[in-house]
């Protein structure tokens, strides 16, 4: 279905072109270096697939970054093979919100994509923001 949609938009790309932008670790990627513990961070949680850290420049009383260990540059580079990791990430975000004590009052899960989306680190990550009333729209 998605392939048909891409074909209609003229966006069909060979599968191996997508895979080239993924890797277990990219040496010049800040978040790859953080998940591999080459650079320190305030680690809140980690497992085989994810690391959750405090954002160095928090935009809210709770500002966590949920980072898959695998290097996927952004959601644009994710494919159907990443369905499980993306699903688990959302469930982990809800668990983290619960642990941080912000689940009941509400919070926001944000994924910035590319330049106009405000993405500054090209390693897929989600911001979990809460602990205060958040404004909408976001800017």
Quick check: helix, strand or coil at residue 74?
coil
Tell whether residue 77 is a contact of ligand 5GP (CB under 6 A).
no
Annotated catalytic, 125? yes
Nearer to ligand 5GP, 2 or 56 (CB): 56
Q: Exactly one of 63, 123, 125, 127 is catalytic; name it.
A: 125
Tell whether residue 55 is a contact of ligand 5GP (CB under 6 A).
yes
For the chain, give the number of residues. Answer: 139
Tell whether residue 74 is a contact of ligand 5GP (CB under 6 A).
no
Nearer to ligand 5GP, 13 or 61 (CB): 61
Tell whether residue 40 is a contact of ligand 5GP (CB under 6 A).
no
CB within 8 Å of 25: residues ≥ 6 apart: 32, 35, 36, 71
- The least distance separating ligand 5GP from the CB of residue 30, rounded to whole angstroms, comes to 6
**In the chain, count of helices (H) and strands (E)?**
4, 7
CB within 8 Å of 61: residues ≥ 6 apart: 130, 131, 132
């Amino acid at each position: 279905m998605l392939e048909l949609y891409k074909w209609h938009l003229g966006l069909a790309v060979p599968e191996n072109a997508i895979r080239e932008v993924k890797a277990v670790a990219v040496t010049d990627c800040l978040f790859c270096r953080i998940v591999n513990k080459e650079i320190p961070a305030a680690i809140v949680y980690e497992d085989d697939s994810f690391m959750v850290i405090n954002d160095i420049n928090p935009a809210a009383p709770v500002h966590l970054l949920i980072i898959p260990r695998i290097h996927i540059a952004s959601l644009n580079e994710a494919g159907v093979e990443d369905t499980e990791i993306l699903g688990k990430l959302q469930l982990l975000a809800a668990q983290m919100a619960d642990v941080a004590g912000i689940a009941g009052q509400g919070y926001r899960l944000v994924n910035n994509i590319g330049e106009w989306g405000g993405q500054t680190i090209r390693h897929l990550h989600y911001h979990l923001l809460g602990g205060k009333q958040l404004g909408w729209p976001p800017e």
